[in-house]
Amino acid sequence: VPFVVKDLFDVAGLPTTAGAALRAAVPPATHDAAVVRRLADAGAVLVGTANMDEFAYGFATVNAHYGTTANPHDLQRLAGGSSGGSAAAVAARWVPFALGSDTNGSIRVPAALCGIYGLRPSHGSLEMDGVFPFVEAFDVVGPFATSVADLRTVYAAMRGHSLAPVDTAALRVARLGGWFQRNLDPELEAGLAALHAALGGHALRELPQAERARAAAFVMTAAEGGYRHRQALATHGARFDPATRDRLLAGLQLPAAAIADAQRFGAWFAGAMQRLWDEVDVLLAPATPCAAPRIDQETIQIDGVAVSARANLGIFTQPLGLARCPVLAAPLYRPGRLPLGVQLIAAPGREDRLFALAAQLERDGLIGSTPPSLEPR
């Protein structure tokens, strides 16, 4: 089975660029990344590496050095990021699965915009050996696929063992309200409402201080990213993608008090989320606020204000990284229309619940990936 990996996984014999031109001449990796080796041992065949936002810092896969990855459903639209190359390769049916990484939404955003499945596993559940880091407090790796069964098979191979079956009738499923009901495309709202109703229509739940959680993740990401690249910024700043460089430099200027506040909030948030799991088994939320924007459309509307699409397509994915929980991004079943995606969220270590529920929804025809028509829309 052929597959591709985001260009921050070590591949023996190739430089690991992490989407950065200044890393094009680094010594080639001597070994494949640990999860790539596991997949090879299971019979998968690596056929290439895929484009990404430089150093995984973005939600668009707009790369000043290696180009912009187009969405297979409409080549004038963004594929999402930062794992956009991997997602686009799967959505175009070039390969049946691919690997990406997710810090604040880098698997879930492109999965939603490209109309495929993507998994952000529980933090720490998969080996990160041989994966170029961004923010170690949030970084995970995970697969993309066009069916729940394929996604589950690949995840099991990456993990080294299969998942036990789950009775979906016993699952307590709720939809997230508040922050996760604002700024939604009307068709996405309708799709979420239909899913919510099909799953029992239980009372809406609130993610504890979701907006503040997003802000905390933003601060922690900027601070660690800036610190990680501080030497290269000082000596080779002109060789960075300008948009990436500006965000990393901004992170270096954050005051220590703001970083400490964000870290303290993160610890509180994880505890608050743990209490929520005492009441519900799976949460339902949008993955992005809208379908894929056009490549030449620099902004999207958030709360009536035009903001950067590249920085804000992850408004619904960013708050969840603090909770260290698994999230399965799934496409609403929309043949012939631009993809819209949702997130299924469970407690840490409960990927089994996500796969079981997603399989049921796929059988019921509520979610599902359809091949692109390649007609502009």
What per-residue confidence (pLDDT) applies to 285? 98
Q: Which amino acid is at 19?
A: G
What per-residue confidence (pLDDT) applies to 284? 98
What per-residue confidence (pLDDT) applies to 377? 46
- Residues labelled as active-site residues: 6, 82, 106
Q: What are phi and psi of 129, to 5 degrees?
A: -60, 125
What per-residue confidence (pLDDT) applies to 54? 98
What per-residue confidence (pLDDT) applies to 202? 85
What per-residue confidence (pLDDT) applies to 214? 96
What per-residue confidence (pLDDT) applies to 310? 85
| pLDDT by 10-residue block (mean), the chain, 377 residues | 98 98 96 98 97 97 97 97 98 98 98 98 97 96 98 97 93 96 97 95 91 96 97 96 95 97 95 92 98 95 92 95 95 96 97 98 98 69
What per-residue confidence (pLDDT) applies to 375? 56
Per-residue pLDDT tens for 49-95?
A: 999 999 999 999 999 999 999 999 999 999 999 999 999 999 999 99
Closest CA to 65 of 250, 298, 294, 242: 242
Which residues, including other chains, have CB under 8 Å from residue 65's CB and lie 6 or more apart?
19, 20, 21, 54, 241
3-state DSSP call for residue 27?
coil
| Strand pairing category for 282-286 and 173-175 | parallel
Across the strands, what pairs with 174?
A: 283
Q: Are 167 and 118 in contact (CB under 8 A)?
A: no
What per-residue confidence (pLDDT) applies to 43? 96
What per-residue confidence (pLDDT) applies to 350? 97
Per-residue pLDDT tens for 273-285?
A: 999 999 999 999 9
Extract long-range pairs of 129-132: CB within 8 Å, 24+ residues apart: 129/33, 129/34, 130/9, 130/10, 130/29, 130/31, 130/32, 130/33, 130/34, 130/36, 131/8, 131/9, 131/10, 131/33, 131/35, 131/101, 132/8, 132/9, 132/10, 132/16, 132/18, 132/55, 132/56
